[in-house]
Amino acid sequence: MNLTLPQLQEKLKEWKGCPLHKNANPVLGEGNPHATVMFIGEAPGQKEDELGRPFVGPAGQFLDELLATIGLKRDEVYISNVVKYRPPNNRDPTDEEKEQCMPWLKLEIALIKPKIIVPLGRHALGHFFPNVKITAAHGKPHKLNDTVTIFPIYHPAAALHNGHLRQSLFDDFKALGEFLKEKKSAP
């Protein structure tokens, strides 16, 4: 079955496979359907739930600012979340919720076919490398397979709560920008 992103969006609206759907709106990813770079957060927040779009609240505004530092615009990348509904009171998503929503993220990845996946924070990183800590992995490329590189970075929301992480995020995005330039110039 060959789905398009708009069809996937419609199917998600009908899906009842995660109990979070009872009190939240579905939020599928958005952006360039042919993006080389895909950013993955953990779950929608309040603003994302209200608007039905990923990364549109304060963390999303900071993400836009970080993207700009490496010459990228939001419409050039694809942005999504592991969990497709906002957990109550913005709590961390449970392992069960992540597992329930994972087929949606896998479908998005299969449709986008990104070369670089940027997990934002430990929940997103855990899907690709369950035994790797974000504190050890952030800001460095990690080969997933012959075609995909995982480039973990702290979640922008973490820097909004802990000012000490702001510089780490800017440094990690600078490293991501340099990595992207190297990739472009490679044969």
pLDDT tens per residue across all 187 residues of the chain: 578 899 999 999 999 999 999 999 999 999 999 999 999 999 999 999 999 999 999 999 999 999 999 999 999 999 999 999 999 998 999 999 999 999 999 999 999 999 999 999 999 999 899 999 999 999 999 999 999 999 999 999 999 988 889 999 999 999 999 999 998 876 6
User: Is residue 43 a contact partner of residue 126, using CB atoms and an 8 Å limit?
Assistant: no
In this prediction, residue 184 carries a pLDDT of 80
pLDDT of residue 1: 53
CA distance linking residue 150 with residue 137, whole number of Å:
10
SS3 91: coil
In a domain, 2, yes or no: no
Q: What is the pLDDT of residue 16?
A: 93
Please state the domain count of the chain: 1
The range of the structural domain enclosing residue 62 comes to 19-185
Which residues are bridge partners to 153 per DSSP? 120
What tokens does 42 get?
């953990």
Specify the pairing of strand 142-143 against strand 78-81: unpaired
Q: Where are the beta strands (DSSP E) in the chain?
A: 30-31, 37-41, 78-81, 116-119, 142-143, 149-150
Residue 135 domain-assigned (yes or no): yes
Distances from the Cα of 36 to the Cα of 63, 124, 175, angstroms: 17, 18, 16
The CATH number that applies at residue 152 is 3.40.470.10
pLDDT of residue 173: 97
120 lies in some domain? yes
Question: Amino acid letter at 85?
Answer: Y
Residue 54 is which amino acid?
P
Q: Position of tokens 């991501």?
A: 176
Q: Does 3 fall in a domain?
A: no
Confidence at residue 50, expressed as pLDDT on a 0 to 100 scale: 95
| 168 within domain boundaries | yes
Residue 127 within any structural domain of the chain = yes
Q: Is residue 126 part of a domain?
A: yes
Of residues 20, 74, 26, 79, the one with CA closest to residue 54: 79
Query: Which residues on neighbouring strands pair with residue 79, listed in sequence order?
Result: 30, 39
For residue 105, the Cα-to-chain-centroid distance in whole angstroms is 9
